[in-house]
Structure 1
Amino acid sequence: MSNFVSVASDNGVAVVTIDNPPVNALSFHVRKPLYEALAALRDDPAAKAIVIACAGRTFVAGADITEFGKPLEQPELRAIIALLETIAKPTVAAIHGTALGGGLELALGCHFRVTDHGAKLGLPEVKLGLLPGGGGTVRLPRLVGAAKALGMIVSGTPISASEAKTASLVDSVFDGDLLAQTVRFASEMASRGEAFVPVRDRNNRLAETDLAAFDAQAADLARKARGLEAPLACAEAVRNAITLPFDAALAAERQLFLKLVSGDQSRAQRHLFFAEREAAKIPGKDVQKRKIARVGIIGAGTMGGGIAMAFANGGFPVTLLETSAEPLQRGLATIEKNYAVSVSRGSLTEEAKQKRLGLFKASTDYADLADCDLIVEAVFEDMAVKKEVFGKVDGVARPGAILATNTSYLDVNEIAASTSRPRDMLGLHFFSPANIMKLLEIVRAEKTAPDALATVTDLARRIGKVPVVVGVCHGFVGNRMLAARGAENEFLLLEGAAPSEVDKAFTDFGWPMGPFQMGDLAGLDISWRNRKARGLTAAIADTLCEQGRFGQKTGRGWYRYDSGAREPVADPDVEALIRTKAADLGIAQRNIGPDEILERTLYPLVNEGAKILEEGIAARASDIDVVWVNGYGFPIGKGGPMFWAGLQGAAKIVERLEYWHRQTGRPVFEPAPALRRFAVTGSWESVPNG
């Protein structure tokens, strides 16, 4: 048929094989010959059944995302599925690897679906700000029921073959040769001589739906959507499958899809999809990577323990080192407790927990790091302490071992210079809790070897992290921009905004929490210690820390946390302190609205990102977006600060920054040359990088 679709016959069963590596995406060059093959087989009396299979490592893993938002060349997926449903002879999808998005929708057009044990099936379009556009919201509920379909479509999370079999999504899960078993299955179905019912006409599961319970489930999911449009549209589409005739529900799904695909939120989420993949592309990525068989972690505290768990979760043996037995045992106990919580929640089996714990080797002797291929230091954020640690590591680490510091701010070049092997040295800035948070800033020092950088970038993905390579500066990308975002926080309070008003402006924008809630969660003492180390002060925050108000861990910070609760309660004492400090400084207080709050915090954030891009600290504007979405909670539906700046209009941001610069004279508001250039060209690619 073509280079991408072939047809073979196996004892009268036609096997249609899609071969479009790497993931068999349903691009136009696949859809056209696939449609033609199915049309020919429908009318071919020699074909008693049809199997759709895929070459390579996976079934169809989705549509071609690069085609989204563009005029779609015919035939489109919906036409292929409609054609499938006109075929009277049995049609079977043979699924291995993943059947995702358009791949699962294609399979739903078949009479039967069979898999091997390792298959995963799902409709993840919501993660791109979309809903399934090929009938997934209308057909899936007819097989698995409306409630199960709603959960799958709104979460976008694939399910296993066994779960799919239990839910009646697949008809059989085979051992051994999947294609041979599928051909045998198709032949048996054909021998029955029955008329097989297309999924579109199977209404029994829908008739069982408790609509009130469904609406309650949808309402609960809507509350968790945090301003995202796609989850709400998914729920609406599945409800249409229950309440409307099939063709009407299918047409409504299409209208919802077209509305989403042309909207800013889906554009933002598709931008992030490609941005994460671009972020992993670094110079030297094709060099020979070093072998990483065992990882050493120095420090068993909160960060060290979390980093150790991240590597153990990825299947790596870990040597966990501490200065003495007591903190070591305390760290191991915390790790075991964290795994036990996962078991209690059902996200981890007891067997998996024991297997992961078995990967840990505890030690108080630096000599035990000699067999480690990567050694990560996670001790106190102090330059002298870190240099002392690496002095000891230098004496025991094997030649070629990669040395990494988990620092949030410190100069990795200075740390590397204190070792005899600066080419093996880099920064790995994990985010807390390190076993959960996805972002990993990989800090490239001046002398870091390309193969070391490529090795840890690849390794990060293997342990489920989103890697972004950044350069050396104070705070790297994330924390440097965080400082710019927070530069006006105290001024906003002194001029009249309450902490709760600032936080509400942020959560209404789409952040999971505002800066003052975040400060209480992280611990105010951390930033206090950092300020003191740099000779900086913050009138209100410093006073809170001097009063022992460190946030949630002390029950008091910017807010009160009564009886150990995590829900913040506005504290009159803090509000009185703010008024006193304002009076002492001669600042007249006034009402400050949410627009001003966002301008004075988010516009400096973008401005600092522009400086970082121009300095070459980040290779691409999209890398900055990946950092801020995955590490700091920037709303996914806005695509990250640099993408959002384009939606806002860079000229507007420059104009407002200039206004606030005139009003305050503070440097944080002075528009960067890179931002001005972006305002003229409309492209971050026009900004000189480094």
Structure 2
Amino acid sequence: MTTEAPDTLSDTVRLHTQDGVVVLTIDNPPVNGLGNTVRAGLFRGLEYAIAEPQVRAVVIAGAGSMFCGGADIRQFNTPAAAELPLSRDVQALIRHANKPVVAAIHGAALGGGLELALACHFRVASAQASLGLPEVQLGLVPGGGGTQRLPRLIGARAALEMIVQGRPVDAAKACALGLVDAVAQGQLLAFATAFALEQAAAEGSLPDLHGRMPALDEVDFAAVRAGLDPRARNHKAQKAAVDCVEMACQHELAHGLDLECEVFLKLVAGPESHALRHLFFAERQAPKFEARIPADTPAIASVAVLGAGTMGGGIAMAFANAGLPVTLVERDQAALDRGLSLVRRNYGVTVEKGKLSPAEVEARLARIRSSLRLEDVAEADLVIEAVFEDMAVKQELFGRLDTLCKPGAILASNTSRLDIDRIASATGRPEDVIGLHFFSPANVMRLLEVVRGERTSDAVIARCMAMAQAIGKIPVLVGVCEGFVGNRMLTGYWREAWFMLEEGARPEQIDAAMKRFGMAMGPLAMADLAGLDINWATRQRLLATWPPGLRYPRVADRICEAGRLGQKTGAGYYRYDNGSRLPQPDPQAMAIIEAAGAEAGFTRRAFTDEEIVERCVLALVNEGARILDDGIARRASDIDVVYVHGYGFPAWRGGPMHYAGTLGLEAVLARLRALEAAHGAQWTPAPLIQRLVADGQAGF
């Protein structure tokens, strides 16, 4: 008996029949996520195909640019995620089908998308396809059978590598592993249909992973756990993934699926995964810049960098690594030679680590042209100055660039604090001037603060946001103020560290407490690394505007006045022996700290880790709220991206603004008021926090 094919499976799944093969096409842009309507559509389509005698096989494919990007994480922790049928129901229907079900993979099959393909009897892929289980990057384990089916298909060792690292493999590697059965020759859908009919005509039962058990002794699971980096943002998820793969070697598939589900549900409800998923969306939202610009606006094809110091050399490397030609300009040969030597040394370290071949390094170095002539920037699409952090120096330089650079060239400053509008005023084309605040080392750090001046054109902003992504950066658009977003907040963070030194804490105690909280470095070791002279000069520049009666951090000045400028001088808040970068507690530093505290009128007292963390982190939160209220940042999540990627805030806490939401803004406000009563006006709660609490909001 022939039944009529359903006209509509769901809003996101289409069905058509070709040569006796039902093709179910997932059409849920942008990534064909396995949301509730996709699951329902696939289930209905499979039910029809299984029941219809004229149907010989089923092919599941994806519309657009990919097969399926995984579960729809927008639905996590919502009722839609629990709507029936679940992914597990779809997979069970495939298992019990008496006709071959083939996944036709193009583009990407990631996460739940690959788990859907693993549940199919067969998998074919286009040559350009990639397949992976990246859930650990979101603080999760694969929750749709990935940790149980993948080891049964390709072995525990190979499965562990894919799942714990979360990195995809290409079609050729997938075929070699046995993850896909064939790589398509020609058009994928036609190939998949022919393959499905061939399997339908073959004798014998369909493949069933339920009858397989991966070898337990193939992997030393204890050694794998011990080898995980406890500092990794997703360490908890990685460890859970190892546990799940070990379960696959110990239990029948049905029981393993139950155990995997328990682990997944625990992680998805936990704060770490909430934080990492928040960052996942924040990192994708930050680069978006909605503006009407001419369709023929050109991309940036050539770059000039002024200054071959640590920042300038790193910036040149970032562009050369992305394949763009760079002109690196210095004032004298000695400075240029030092800069190029540092660039070569940095590349040499990369070669030693096995991340680049010598030939690849030479190709990148060949893209960096050195020059002592400022005139050689004339034809560059983008000119970035990375010279001394002094307004007069920068204004003089931009005045010269105004006359030298071609019309339409973007003139950018790498300043970390100075007023972009004042820099732009030195030119006759302020609409072409922008801030591009790279973070050191610029060839490694992914964050880029894109500083929009008052008159910076939308086209210049759009070109710079696109450029940043093209060279592998995460751009965050910010406004003009002292320190922009990151360094403006850092001032309050350091301020509390300095004040606690004066009140009785030791540098190593403060840094240890913040590292236990999850920061990549403590505030004082970070200050020593950055160099204390830059911040000292900033304090002196701003001293005339210091509010009367507001407490001033004497200890920071006293350390610098003693010639202790951090690692560069072998001493700062710590000492650094024989060129070492390892901070050592220093009695001489403590003598300066104790004297500064006495000068400020403090009797030294004991500190707990909890107080250290609270004062440092809430200083970030309070200033972040002011920045948001001032319109310097477009959204709270942008601030989180800045602090995670630029300042080492623990990703598994989601950034300072997200973390404040986990505490609850009402509790944050109460603590700010208590700190204000105890320590003064620097703790006055930001008006935005007060308004949000009055409106009943728990977070930003």
Instruction: Please say whether Structure 1 and Structure 2 have the same fold, judged by a TM-score greater than 0.5.
Output: yes
Residue identity in the other structure for 1:128: L
Residues 522 and 285 of structure 1, relative CA distance in 2, 3 Å threshold? farther
Q: Work out which of the residue numbers 618, 625, 648 in structure 2 matches 1:603.
A: 618
| Map 1:98-117 → 2, pairs under 5 A | 98-117=108-127
1:498-521 CA-to-partner distances (Å, cap 9, x unmatched) read: 111111211121112211121222
1:250-305 CA-to-partner distances (Å, cap 9, x unmatched) read: 11211222222222222222222222233233341665444322122222221112
User: Separation in 2 of the partners of 1:383 and 1:89?
Assistant: 73
Counterpart secondary structure, 2:227: helix
The residue number in structure 2 matching 1:676 is 690
User: Separation in 1 of the partners of 2:55 and 2:100?
Assistant: 10
Residue 413 (structure 1) shift = 0.5
Tell me if structure 2 keeps the 8 A contact 1:430–1:441.
yes
Q: Work out which of the residue numbers 590, 594, 619 in structure 1 matches 2:605.
A: 590
Q: Work out which of the residue numbers 396, 406, 410 in structure 2 matches 1:402.
A: 410
Residue identity in the other structure for 1:262: A
The residue number in structure 1 matching 2:159 is 149
The residue number in structure 1 matching 2:223 is 216
Residue identity in the other structure for 1:578: I
User: Separation in 1 of the partners of 2:122 and 2:234?
Assistant: 37
User: Does 2:75 correspond to 1:67?
Assistant: yes
Q: Work out which of the residue numbers 324, 340, 344 in structure 2 matches 1:336.
A: 344
| Map 1:263-282 → 2, pairs under 5 A | 263-282=270-289
The residue number in structure 1 matching 2:307 is 299
Residue 538 (structure 1) shift = 4.9
Residues 325 and 179 of structure 1, relative CA distance in 2, 3 Å threshold? farther
The residue number in structure 2 matching 1:433 is 441
User: Separation in 2 of the partners of 1:97 and 1:646?
Assistant: 37
User: Separation in 2 of the partners of 1:124 and 1:527?
Assistant: 40
User: Separation in 2 of the partners of 1:227 and 1:177?
Assistant: 39
The residue number in structure 2 matching 1:236 is 243
Residue identity in the other structure for 1:79: D
Residue identity in the other structure for 1:657: L
User: Does 2:635 correspond to 1:625?
Assistant: no
User: Separation in 2 of the partners of 1:379 and 1:5?
Assistant: 56
The residue number in structure 2 matching 1:134 is 144
- The answer to which of 421-430 and 217-226 deviates more is 217-226
| Map 1:435-474 → 2, pairs under 5 A | 435-474=443-482
Residue identity in the other structure for 1:395: T
Residue 556 (structure 1) shift = 3.5
TM-score by length of 2: 0.91
Tell me if structure 1 keeps the 8 A contact 2:378–2:404.
yes
Counterpart secondary structure, 2:249: helix
Tell me if structure 2 keeps the 8 A contact 1:607–1:672.
yes
Residue 492 (structure 1) shift = 0.8
User: Separation in 1 of the partners of 2:87 and 2:592?
Assistant: 62
The residue number in structure 2 matching 1:124 is 134
Counterpart secondary structure, 1:559: coil
The residue number in structure 2 matching 1:477 is 485
The residue number in structure 1 matching 2:331 is 323
Tell me if structure 2 keeps the 8 A contact 1:147–1:214.
no
Residue 130 (structure 1) shift = 2.0
Residues 291 and 684 of structure 1, relative CA distance in 2, 3 Å threshold? farther
Counterpart secondary structure, 2:265: helix
User: Separation in 2 of the partners of 1:140 and 1:428?
Assistant: 44
The residue number in structure 1 matching 2:496 is 488
Q: Which structure 1 segments of 5+ residues have no match?
A: none
- The answer to which of 14-23 and 532-541 deviates more is 532-541
Q: Work out which of the residue numbers 380, 392, 395 in structure 1 matches 2:388.
A: 380
Tell me if structure 2 keeps the 8 A contact 1:495–1:582.
yes
Tell me if structure 2 keeps the 8 A contact 1:412–1:443.
yes
Residue identity in the other structure for 1:24: N
User: Separation in 1 of the partners of 2:340 and 2:679?
Assistant: 50
Residues 226 and 399 of structure 1, relative CA distance in 2, 3 Å threshold? closer
User: Separation in 1 of the partners of 2:131 and 2:369?
Assistant: 37
User: Does 2:101 correspond to 1:91?
Assistant: yes
User: Separation in 1 of the partners of 2:192 and 2:366?
Assistant: 39
Residues 188 and 549 of structure 1, relative CA distance in 2, 3 Å threshold? farther
- The answer to which of 193-202 and 281-290 deviates more is 281-290
Q: Which structure 2 segments of 5+ residues have no match?
A: 1-6, 547-551
The residue number in structure 2 matching 1:308 is 316
User: Does 2:163 correspond to 1:178?
Assistant: no
| Map 1:182-193 → 2, pairs under 5 A | 182-193=192-203
1:537-590 CA-to-partner distances (Å, cap 9, x unmatched) read: 854444444454443444433234445444433333333433343344442111
Residues 551 and 88 of structure 1, relative CA distance in 2, 3 Å threshold? farther
The residue number in structure 1 matching 2:66 is 58
Tell me if structure 2 keeps the 8 A contact 1:110–1:199.
no
User: Separation in 2 of the partners of 1:509 and 1:680?
Assistant: 29
1:32-75 CA-to-partner distances (Å, cap 9, x unmatched) read: 12122222223444444433222211120111111110122221
Residue identity in the other structure for 1:680: A
User: Separation in 1 of the partners of 2:240 and 2:584?
Assistant: 34
Counterpart secondary structure, 2:285: helix
Residues 109 and 453 of structure 1, relative CA distance in 2, 3 Å threshold? same
Q: Work out which of the residue numbers 643, 648, 653 in structure 2 matches 1:638.
A: 653
Size of the alignment, in residue pairs? 682
Q: Work out which of the residue numbers 504, 507, 526 in structure 2 matches 1:499.
A: 507
User: Separation in 2 of the partners of 1:668 and 1:199?
Assistant: 63
1:327-360 CA-to-partner distances (Å, cap 9, x unmatched) read: 3343333333333332332333445434433333
| Map 1:494-643 → 2, pairs under 5 A | 494-535=502-543, 538-643=553-658
Q: Work out which of the residue numbers 245, 249, 267 in structure 1 matches 2:256.
A: 249
